[in-house]
Amino acid sequence: MTDAIKIDVWSDIACPWCYIGKRNLETGLAATAEDPDAPVVEVTFHSFELSPDTPVDFDGDELDFLSTHKGMPRDQVRQMLENVTGVAAKAGLDYHFDILKHTNTVKAHELLHFAREHGRQKEMTERLMSAYFTEGKHVGRIDDLVALAAEVGLDADAAREALVSERHLPDVRADQDQARAYGITGVPFFVVDGKYGVSGAQPPEAFAQIARQVWSERSGAEVDAG
């Protein structure tokens, strides 16, 4: 049996294009599920902090953050947010930048590594991004993160211990080191089977095509080897 295609995704919880890219990847892979020889894919998320200097509690909304903390003109920021909200809607995501609570995401990344350790990374990634972009929940404080972890079936006390002890912080840093080694400077970034790099929130069709292509290459190699 052909081994699963491995797709490693570098992203940040607070990256609007990362949530769009995640959803487009899922939609694209779902489109291949009905293929006679459907690709088998294993997706793993890796940590990337877009703004590691962000405070845990930022006083203001996304417009305030990008215009003051990042020095971007407010009109430009407003137009940019309207654009990404429209793109998100096409992907089936309902963004609400007006209630978004901007925060530091390092603890969220630690939680994702904890979730991966317990087989719930897929669910935890979705829950964090949904909480952040569509529900206006805080994803930077330990109490809030523990509550979200419990919602996806993780043990609350174990999640709290992992976050307080910073047990998974080295895992976050290792992901960031690997991103630098790959030359990744922006997210989302998808590494397919360790050899194909796909940058940005590509449309679902692009993800479906690359999954089929790699799967076909794998199957052909097995036939040749046989």
**pLDDT band at residue 222 using 50, 70 and 90 as cut-offs:** low
Helix (H, G, I), strand (E, B) or coil at 132: helix
If you average pLDDT over residues 133-139, what whole number do you get?
97
Tokens of 155: 């043990």
CATH 3.40.630.40 correct for 5-225? no
- Provide the residue ranges of all domains of the chain, joining segments of one domain with +: 5-225
Global pTM reads 0.95
Average pLDDT of the segment spanning 123-129: 98
**Phi and psi at residue 222, to the nearest 5°:** -65, -40
pLDDT-based confidence at residue 225 (cuts at 50, 70, 90): very low
The contacts of residue 45 (CB under 8 Å, 6+ apart) are: 9, 11, 112, 116, 121, 125
Does the pLDDT of residue 223 top 70, yes or no?
Answer: no
**157: its two tokens:** 């006390």
Query: Which tens digit of pLDDT belongs to each residue from 139-196?
Result: 999 999 999 999 999 999 999 999 999 999 999 999 999 999 999 999 999 999 999 9
Query: Which sign does the torsion angle of CA 157, 159, 163, 165 carry?
Result: positive
For residue 5, what are its two tokens?
A: 């295609």
- On the 0-12 / 13-18 / 19+ scale of CB atoms within 10 A, 37 is exposed
What is the chain's mean pLDDT, rounded? 95
